[in-house]
Copies of this chain bind each other. A is one copy, B any other.
Amino acid sequence: MNAPVSQFVPEPPVVAIVGATGVVGREVLQCLEDRGTPVASIRLLASARSAGQTLSFKGAHLPVEEVADHQFDGVNIVFFCAGATVSRRYAPVAAKAGAVVVDNSSAFRMDPTVPLIVPEANGSQIVPHAGIIANPNCVAAIATVVLAALQRCWSISRLNLVTYQSASGGGAAAMDELRDATSAKLNGDDYAPNAMPHPYAFNLFSHNSDVDGETGYNGEELKVIEETRRILSQPKLPIGVTCVRVPVLRAHSIALSVRFDHFVDVEQVRARLENAPGVRLVDDRDSNHFPMPSEATGEYDVLVGRIRRDLGDPTGHTIAMFICGDQLLKGAALNAVQIAETLLALGAAQEAA
């Protein structure tokens, strides 16, 4: 990654999506269309197995081609949505060819030369980059939209996150397994788990990433800790986290406790979040209406509610809340497209200057 790269992207850019037929790749394509993100043309890339399919974009049927080194020639932005192994293999190739990579995988997230970006939280850190920009873990992305809005007003001294994570984090296979296993259970049929390590019908389980034998934290939890610290620029922030997979299709929920350095009024937190970009307040105590996956699904905003003082902290410095975000949108594809839009806006500003 020491080849000279352009920090900016011409508008409209030539775009490529690697892993275009996966759940996240399809959502990136949909976001580009729905948001009217400027695009000159799109190249859809995938494994040999998926090549030959077509996907629709603005009424056209685009062919899916097999990913290969030469496919990045002349491309300005590449979204990588095919997992860390593919990103490690092809992202440096794309960057060397002059594209800016927006990488959805965990491959480069903790690389200090690779910005890890949630535009609402730390968009200004997108430059300088060396051709690759990382899209965070879904829980970190959803949480930091809210946390960064708070951090701008009040110093955060500790966090606790307990998650309710949807099947979509495990891809289309996990979503299918949740539907199929549940259907089998309702019909009294047997179902052998395949995409997930445990029965998924009307069940929940500790996140399916490997558990560190030393600390007892799983891979997902360690990502949440490291990436949240990095996005908030608080490298030593104490963060407690428990990641759990629940039988929900595509929105993550998080019970979040935020400890501030000083006493903060609950109403001030509510007012702050009511006006924060990317956040929608759903906090109606009278009608017991708070964030739910069913209402977060398909939404760009992260829903926030149940804002109240955390009675577990006798200092009164901690505020509890409950948040929901679409795992495939703010947790993945939408944030990636927002990163691309941030690059385009910077390029436009550069040109005007």
B residues less than 8 Å from A308 (CB atoms): 215-217
**Residues of chain B contacted by A239 (CB below 8 angstroms):** 311-312
Q: Using CB atoms, name the residue of chain B closest to A205.
A: B292
Is A203 in the interface zone, CB < 8 Å from B? yes
Query: Taking A162-B255, A288-B218 as contacts, is the C-beta distance between A311 and B204 under 8 angstroms?
Result: no
A280 interfacial by beta-carbon distance below 8 Å: no
Closest to A306 in B: B206
Residues A294 and B199 in contact, CB atoms below 8 Å apart: yes
A179 within 8 A of B: yes
- Is the CB of A5 closer than 8 A to any CB of chain B? no
Report the stretch among A29-37, A59-67, A103-111, A240-248 that lies at the interface.
Answer: A240-248
In the complex, A84 Cα to B238 Cα: how many Å?
43
Q: With A216-B307, A242-B306, A285-B213 as known contacts, state yes or no: A290 contacts B162, CB within 8 Å.
A: no
State which of A313-321, A328-336, A343-351 sits at the interface with chain B. Answer: A313-321
Query: In whole angstroms, what is the CA distance A29 to B249 when docked?
Result: 37
A239 vs B288: C-alpha distance when bound (angstroms): 22
Number of copies: 2
Interface size class, chain A? 35 or more
Q: CB of A202 within 8 A of chain B?
A: yes
Q: Taking chain A's interface residues, is the majority helix, strand, or loop, or is none over half, making it mixed?
A: mixed
Binary contact readout A285-316 vs B (1 if CB under 8 angstroms, 0 otherwise)? 11010101110000000000111111111100
> Is A189's beta carbon under 8 Å from chain B?
no
Interface string of A199-211 (1 = CB under 8 A from B): 1001111101011
B312 near A205 with CB under 8 A, answer no
- CB distance A248 to B285 under 8 Å? no
Q: Establish whether residues A313 and B158, one from each chain, have CB atoms under 8 Å apart when the complex forms.
A: yes
**Nearest Cβ distance between residue A31 and chain B, in whole angstroms?**
23
A-B interface, 6 closest residue pairs, ranked by CB to CB distance from nearest: A240-B312, A216-B308, A162-B162, A211-B285, A203-B294, A206-B290
Can you list 27 contacts pairing A with B, beta carbon distance less than 8 Å?
A158-B312, A158-B314, A159-B312, A160-B160, A162-B242, A179-B186, A182-B182, A183-B186, A199-B294, A202-B294, A204-B253, A205-B292, A206-B305, A206-B322, A208-B288, A211-B285, A215-B309, A216-B306, A238-B314, A240-B257, A240-B313, A241-B311, A242-B322, A244-B322, A246-B246, A246-B247, A247-B247
